Amino acid sequence: MPFNRRDLLQGTGAATLAAMLPGTAFGATGADSAATTLLADTAETMFADYPEAAAGLGLDKGKRAALKHRLSDRGPAGKAAAASHAKTVLGKLRKIDTTALSPGMRTNVEVVQTAYQRATDGYALPYGDVATLTSGWRNSPYVVAQNVGAYLDIPQLLDVDHRIDTPGDADAYLARMIAY
């Protein structure tokens, strides 16, 4: 029986589908569970340091509702705490044996590890506004400028990402306005 393009496409499709199914040879591993827990804890730490990120993702409700009342601490103490958290998380991520992970989880861990490595490198600079791990997307050597940083990010957060569905949401909005 000759092998043709249709057979190739069907075989590729079947292999791709099998890789996406949990519990198969290509699916999740036991090591994935520990990595998933670490990534979830990492996300919670990031949201605590950068509550605006939770708002941007619509996750500042339920058990994270308190985040809706806060802004990131952009002062020296807040930056030092965030840098310390990034360094701690990076150390934990480096301890993961990525060869024991499923391909998808390995990619997840390596992406987060790269982000935290870049954040740690950025925090090593003695000046500027590092946008790594934050809701911002622009690094700048200037903390105060008309086109980067809190001057743009906070008003955009309040205008676009901060949903007001309840009286508590309105109180949270006012708390963020006062903090700004």
Q: What is the pLDDT of residue 13?
A: 46
Report helix, strand or coil for 114. Answer: helix
Q: What is the pLDDT of residue 16?
A: 45
- The DSSP output letter for 149 is T
H helices of the chain, in order, are 5-20, 30-49, 51-56, 76-94, 103-123, 150-156, 167-179
Query: What does pLDDT average to in each consecutive run of 10 residues of the chain (180 residues)?
Result: 50 46 57 94 92 90 93 88 93 95 96 92 81 71 77 85 92 92
Q: What is the pLDDT of residue 144?
A: 78
Look up the pTM and report it: 0.73
Q: What is the pLDDT of residue 27?
A: 54
